């Protein structure tokens, strides 16, 4: 019997894909989806060069493709898989072991990074279940990412510090200079990362308690928590956001800022949103500018969250009256989603203010925050260039620019420091 037997009883069609048993000292399993990834071995080398943790490590590479892939795609993907297998044979040890799922063919309707990530994470869970080790850590990484040498030891330190930890994200920095990509790509990734950090910082400013980065190459989850919360989803895009926002509200979710993951800034047409899509749109003729939400959106949202505790034990008329006094954008959004009814239901199921607050932010969760921002950006506050938005945010945070507003890379550096040194 293993701690995750119940989980696997619900996973129709699950098959253990590896015959060899895991090391009894297995503590970390890194999962890497890989579809037409020519730089995969660079990512593997980045991991194997890390300082070894006390526990043993496995890396599961999920070489995948759609079941209807063309002959050319199949040939290229298989060639990458063969090179990866040869590299693995030279570098795999008992303490740092590599496993390859070769040529995983995914159903056309489900083919994508979510399906591949779930496949690898389920295999990781199965191996921890084999050892009946619920404290194992499943790490999500990408085939075009790299990491600092203290990647595993920093994670190990965090686990020691927070023994009840459910999950965590890891600090990241995209490369913003170099010769691997055209200059326009580096300009694009500076603006896009500015947008991501501005968004996360300003959402925290509103008082929303679950504001964390959700980057697919930069998170980890406790094996027992993964099983208890139903595992990874199969979404073709945004699988990391959807999964992590099941884990974050549980509590004991932490940020690891003492090491770094370095995701790729490359453009991509595989998914409709995210880094690759944003870079691709930026470099199209006539674009070359990233827009983000107006600061006014966050101020309106903050006015709502500031009153959220007051809704506890309010009667229906008081709830309606309180909402009617909020700024137009949030007031009308709440009307559209029938917020008074939801708040009444939350009250009916809350025996204390703490219980009410927990339920409130499970209702008005990260999905609703983003939906509100899109609503307000569409109907009330026109989106603004990210440079302008970041400048306004920094000025509100007390950061002045006596010599003029810095260039975008310097603005990004300020945001990075604000997040990395936050306590």
Domains of the chain in start order, with CATH, are 23-182+200-268 (3.90.550.10), 295-379 (no CATH)
Q: pLDDT at position 382, please?
A: 96
Query: What is the pLDDT at residue 31?
Result: 98
Q: Is the dihedral of CA 226, 228, 232, 235 positive or negative?
A: negative
**What pLDDT is recorded for position 246?**
96
What confidence category does residue 231 fall into, taking pLDDT thresholds of 50, 70 and 90? very high
Mapped onto helix, strand or coil, the DSSP state of residue 103 is strand
Number of other residues whose CB lies within 10 A of the CB of residue 178: 10
Residue 189: CB atoms within 10 A of its CB come to 25
Of residues 262 and 278, the one with the higher pLDDT is: 262
User: What mean pLDDT is reported for the chain?
Assistant: 93
Share of the chain above pLDDT 90, in %: 82
Q: What is the mean pLDDT of residues 226-243?
A: 91
Tell me the torsion sign for CA atoms 294, 295, 299, 304. Answer: positive
pLDDT of residue 423: 55
The pLDDT-based confidence of 109 (bands split at 50, 70, 90) is confident
């Amino acid at each position: 019997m293993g701690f995750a037997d119940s989980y696997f009883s619900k996973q129709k069609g699950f098959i253990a894909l590896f015959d060899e048993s895991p090391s009894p000292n297995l503590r970390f399993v890194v999962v890497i989806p890989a579809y037409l990834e020519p730089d995969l071995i660079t990512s593997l080398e980045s991991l194997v060069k890390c300082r070894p943790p006390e526990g043993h490590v496995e890396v599961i590479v999920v070489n995948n493709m759609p079941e209807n892939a063309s002959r050319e795609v199949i040939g290229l993907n298989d060639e990458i898989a063969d090179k990866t297998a040869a590299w693995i044979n030279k570098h795999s040890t008992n303490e740092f072991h590599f496993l390859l799922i070769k040529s995983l063919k995914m159903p056309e309707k489900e083919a994508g990074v979510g399906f591949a990530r779930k496949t690898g994470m389920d295999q990781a869970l199965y191996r921890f279940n084999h050892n009946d080790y619920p404290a194992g850590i499943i790490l999500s990484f990408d085939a075009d990412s790299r990491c600092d040498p203290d990647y595993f030891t920093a994670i190990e330190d965090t686990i020691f510090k927070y023994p009840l930890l459910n999950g965590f994200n890891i600090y990241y920095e995209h490369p913003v200079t170099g010769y691997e990509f055209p200059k326009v790509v580096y300009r694009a990734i500076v603006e896009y990362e500015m947008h991501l950090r501005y968004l996360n910082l300003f959402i925290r400013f509103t008082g929303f308690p679950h504001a964390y980065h959700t980057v697919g190459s930069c998170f980890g989850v406790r094996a027992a928590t993964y099983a208890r919360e139903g595992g990874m989803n199969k979404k073709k895009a945004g699988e990391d956001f959807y999964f992590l926002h099941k884990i974050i509200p549980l509590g004991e979710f932490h940020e690891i800022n003492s090491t770094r993951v370095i995701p790729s800034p490359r453009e991509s047409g595989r998914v409709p949103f995210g880094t690759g899509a944003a870079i691709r749109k930026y470099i199209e003729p006539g674009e070359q500018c990233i827009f983000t939400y107006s600061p006014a959106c966050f101020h309106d949202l903050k006015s709502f969250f500031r009153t959220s505790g007051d809704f506890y034990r309010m009667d229906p008329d008081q709830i309606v009256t309180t909402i009617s006094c909020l700024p137009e954008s949030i007031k009308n959004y709440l009307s559209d989603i029938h917020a008074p009814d939801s708040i009444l239901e939350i009250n009916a199921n809350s025996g204390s203010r703490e219980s009410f607050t927990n339920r409130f932010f499970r209702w008005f969760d990260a999905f609703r925050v983003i939906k509100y921002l899109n609503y307000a950006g569409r109907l009330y506050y026109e989106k603004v260039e990210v440079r302008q938005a970041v400048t306004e945010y920094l000025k509100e945070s007390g950061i002045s620019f006596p010599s003029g507003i810095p260039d975008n890379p310097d603005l990004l550096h300020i945001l990075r420091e604000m997040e990395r040194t936050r306590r």
